[in-house]
């Protein structure tokens, strides 16, 4: 499931950046940005929601690992919960979502280089 969602997240991130470019272009040309803002919101939430779904898939695996891995799983849970709350209520949970996503990515990168498994 994560492998299917990842290209969607990647594409949504690209379109989000394109919308930001369009907003800047239209602002410089004194044109309306209402459509670009609407599309920006859609693609931004596809990206953040997709990341939350992918992180939720990692939680069972991460929770069975080392203390560090378990800590990353707790932050992944936080990212999923804050994504759900942020979708319905724009608040401090938007900031918690963005910070937790950064920490999950950092934790996963660290685990990629430090985690080792042995066959028993």
Q: Give the span between the Cα atoms of 110 and 87, in whole angstroms.
A: 29
Query: What is the model's pLDDT at position 117?
Result: 63
CA distance 34 to 114: 46
Give the pLDDT confidence score for residue 1 in this predicted structure. Answer: 87
How far is Cα 99 from Cα 75, in angstroms, rounded to an integer?
A: 9
73 neighbors 98 (Cβ within 8 angstroms): no
pTM of the prediction? 0.83
pLDDT(51) > 60: yes
Residue 2 to residues 29, 55, 85, 107: CA-CA distances in angstroms? 40, 9, 22, 18
**How high does pLDDT run on average in the chain?**
92
């Amino acid at each position: 499931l994560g492998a299917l969602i990842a290209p969607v997240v990647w594409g949504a991130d690209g379109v989000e950046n394109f919308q930001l470019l369009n907003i800047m272009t239209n602002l410089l040309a004194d044109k309306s940005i209402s459509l670009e803002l609407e599309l920006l919101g859609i693609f931004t939430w596809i990206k953040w929601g997709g990341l939350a779904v992918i992180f939720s898939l990692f939680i069972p695996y991460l929770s069975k690992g080392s203390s560090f891995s378990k800590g990353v799983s707790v932050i992944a849970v936080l990212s999923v919960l804050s994504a759900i709350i942020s979708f319905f209520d724009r608040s401090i949970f938007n900031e918690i979502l963005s910070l937790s996503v950064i920490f999950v990515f950092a934790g996963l990168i660290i685990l990629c280089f430090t985690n080792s498994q042995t066959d028993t």
